[in-house]
Amino acid sequence: MIKHLRIDNRLIHGQVAVTWMNSIGADKIIVCNDKVASDKIQKMSLPLAARGNTVYVFTIEETIKYAQEHPNETMFVIAKFPSDGLAILESGIQVDDVNVGNAAPIAGTNYVQINKSIFATKEDAEVYRKIAAIRGGKLRSQLTTMNESTDFLAALSAAGL
């Protein structure tokens, strides 16, 4: 079961490796993105950033297959982009919680700053709304476990997306 799906294009960093893992109580971290999974350097370095936690770096397809084959494991999935998270949700796998954590601006895109740690394009906003539709019309954002959870759809609207 996917206990927590975090959309965070920074992938594994201190917040993820320590505070989120402790808060979630997951058995392992799965980094989910097709391009990252094909990059040998990232596949080798991301587990090192996880401070002793078990880490798998999978494509979207591998993530879905692993979750289907291991329903009794508690997984913390980090999707690099909202489209990665949407693909997981559209597969029908049980996901207890979805959180938009970090989304750094991508050079060459027409991005808008949503809050201090999230930037999005119009296309990203459409994907976030699809995610929310699957989640009963709700999507939250929470940077760290110490921060308050906020309504991400309201933040998108306030930013003009």
Query: Which residues are part of the catalytic machinery?
Result: 13
Q: How far apart are CA 11 and CA 20, in angstroms?
A: 12
Beta bridge partners of 119: 113
Nearest CA to 97 among 142, 161, 36?
142
Strand segments, DSSP code E, in 66-161 are: 75-79, 98-102, 112-115, 118-120, 140-141, 150-151
Contacts of residue 69, Cβ cutoff 8 Å, sequence gap at least 6: none
Give, to the nearest 10 degrees, the angle between helix 122-134 and helix 82-90: 30
CA distance linking residue 5 with residue 57, whole number of Å: 14
